[in-house]
Amino acid sequence: MTAVSVPANPGVHAVRSSVYGPGVKLTAFGATDVGQARTHNEDHYLLDDELGLFVVCDGMGGHASGEVASAMAANSVRAVVKAELGAIDAQKDEGRAADFVADVLKRSVEAANSSVHSHGKNAEAGRAAGTTCTALCIRGNRGTLAHVGDSRLYLHRGGQTHLLSFDHSFLAEAIRRGIPREEAEQNFPPNLLSRAVGPLPRVQVDTLEFDILPGDLFVLCSDGLHGYFESTDAVGAMLNDDPASLPERLVAFANERGGADNITAVVVCAGAAEAEEPARLSRVHEDLSALQTMELFNELTYPELLEVAAALGSEEHGPKHLLLREGETSRSLYVIASGSVEVRRGETLLAKLASGSHFGEMALLTNRPRSASVRTLEPCRLLTLDQDQIYPLFQQNPVIGLKFLWRLAQILSLRLDEATLFTSPIPDTERRAPEMIGTVTDELFPPPFSKKV
């Protein structure tokens, strides 16, 4: 099977597809159904083996307009990806291709927006046409998401399920801005979109790049399915059976609960490549583990961690290597992915840091000389994040910047408390034991957009 573009169609329509290109082996399955309440299916999904491209679109605007908009968007995305990236087997430089897939996929959705918008202006039946669009493109060992609207992409990895897309609805935006869910639900209908493909001349497209690991399972779906799940854990509970039958079972699940909307599900499974590199798998796990345990990033959601991971550089050094010299200036934050280092000021040992620890964060804020030297104690792999990488990241996703700077301010505040406690005339009864300084996290406020709020 080369490509499958499934039009809106009453009744369940299911297909399967396999990709045997460079990188991980992919198998994909899809199904769509009109549901129990509608008379017409405005959903559309696409599987393309040659491009490693998988798309779900949920049309809106009435009987004809939504159907045309969803099909037009999916096929526009495929046309641009095919023209600019070509088939997987044709890739001569997989590493170079991975660098611009996100840009191509973003432009493909922008092209879809132009097509749907022009159709709406030129056709009476399409004046209110619009659609969501969630597209996953996998090239080699890298995946890229491009997303507009409230269709979704879930990742099931290592027994845990993560929502990688963000709903562009007024309800989701209100909750993200800190309004309590109960209050937001009273004021905003769940299906009122803040962003869609087609209604306006231009559209803002969310993108996300990430590594693909053997065993990863992706679910792309319309809100006719995910509207019946109370949490990502509820999604994950259904993803442990045979992937080939998953789309039909997910469609049946939604129909059993009322089927109030059209229902579409696409499942993409990543198997092991013929010559998988153990070093790559170890690196990906190390990077995410180090970021998840790092104080500066422990408020980030999984998709936000993937955004940070995509911006990281990597360095490997042997033992006794001088990483930073006291008195020098630099522009990088370092995270220890594996190994350990020692921190010295002059001849005084200040600290020994292991995997998950970080140092050099002040270089992102000031141009002052380093206040200490850092040397490796054993072979180390370090993740680096400098100003040139982190500033565009914060501009693209200000929530990441807010959480990072909020946590950095708290860490610096605790360090200031530590210095003050041992230099100020504070009564012994009010002093904390040294080992308690900086560890009382229940005294710290989470950021306004914290995942823990």
Residues 370/311, Cβ–Cβ less than 8 Å:
no
pLDDT attached to residue 21: 47
- Looking at the predicted structure, is the pLDDT value of residue 92 above 70? no
- Looking at the predicted structure, is the pLDDT value of residue 437 above 50? no
Helix (H, G, I), strand (E, B) or coil at 271: strand
Mean pLDDT of 106-110: 97
CA 162 to chain centre: 9
**Tens of pLDDT, residues 121-175:** 876 655 668 999 999 999 988 999 999 999 999 999 989 999 999 999 999 888 8
pLDDT attached to residue 98: 54
pLDDT attached to residue 8: 54
Per-state percent for the chain, helix, strand, coil, to nearest 5? 40, 25, 35
**Tens of pLDDT, residues 20-71:** 445 678 999 999 999 999 989 999 999 998 899 999 999 987 656 889 999 9
pLDDT attached to residue 438: 42
> What span, in angstroms and rounded, lies between the C-alpha atoms of 342 and 376?
6
* Confidence band of 198 (pLDDT split at 50, 70, 90): very high
Strands (E), 245-399: 263-271, 313-317, 322-324, 332-338, 341-345, 348-353, 358-359, 373-376, 380-386
Mean pLDDT of 434-452: 54
Beta bridge partners of 333: 385
Least confident of 212-221, 344-353, 417-426: 417-426
- Looking at the predicted structure, is the pLDDT value of residue 82 above 60? yes
- Looking at the predicted structure, is the pLDDT value of residue 219 above 90? yes
pTM: 0.84
* Confidence band of 407 (pLDDT split at 50, 70, 90): confident
Mean pLDDT, the chain, rounded, equals: 84
- Looking at the predicted structure, is the pLDDT value of residue 275 above 70? no
- Looking at the predicted structure, is the pLDDT value of residue 281 above 70? yes
- Looking at the predicted structure, is the pLDDT value of residue 93 above 50? no
Mean pLDDT of 429-444: 47
Least confident of 59-73, 78-92, 417-431: 417-431
* Confidence band of 360 (pLDDT split at 50, 70, 90): confident
Least confident of 64-78, 84-98, 353-367, 393-407: 84-98
Residue 20 to residues 129, 205, 212, Cα–Cα distance (Å): 36, 29, 15
- Looking at the predicted structure, is the pLDDT value of residue 436 above 50? no
* Torsional class of 376: left (φ above 0), alpha (ψ -120 to 50), beta (otherwise): beta
Least confident of 46-50, 411-415, 441-445: 441-445
pLDDT attached to residue 4: 65
Pick the more confident residue, 238 or 446: 238
pLDDT attached to residue 97: 55
pLDDT attached to residue 255: 97
Residues 268/52, Cβ–Cβ less than 8 Å:
no
pLDDT above 70 covers a percentage of the chain that reads: 81
Sort 110 into a burial class: Cβ within 10 Å, 0-12 / 13-18 / 19+: buried
* Confidence band of 439 (pLDDT split at 50, 70, 90): very low
- Looking at the predicted structure, is the pLDDT value of residue 16 above 60? no
**Structure tokens that stand for 410 in this block:** 């708290």
Mean pLDDT of 412-420: 74
> What span, in angstroms and rounded, lies between the C-alpha atoms of 48 and 133?
16
Radius of gyration of the chain (CA): 25
> What span, in angstroms and rounded, lies between the C-alpha atoms of 9 and 271?
31
pLDDT attached to residue 431: 43
- Looking at the predicted structure, is the pLDDT value of residue 321 above 60? yes
- Looking at the predicted structure, is the pLDDT value of residue 450 above 80? no
Pick the more confident residue, 147 or 272: 147
**Tens of pLDDT, residues 288-317:** 888 888 888 888 889 999 999 888 888 999
- Looking at the predicted structure, is the pLDDT value of residue 331 above 50? yes
Mean pLDDT of 310-330: 90
Amino acid code (one letter) for 113: N
Residue 54 to residues 21, 50, 57, 221, 265, Cα–Cα distance (Å): 15, 11, 10, 11, 11
pLDDT attached to residue 204: 95
**Measured at the alpha carbon of residue 101, what is the angle toward residues 100 and 104, in degrees to the nearest 5?**
90
What spatial distance separates the first Cα and last Cα of the chain, rounded to whole Å? 46
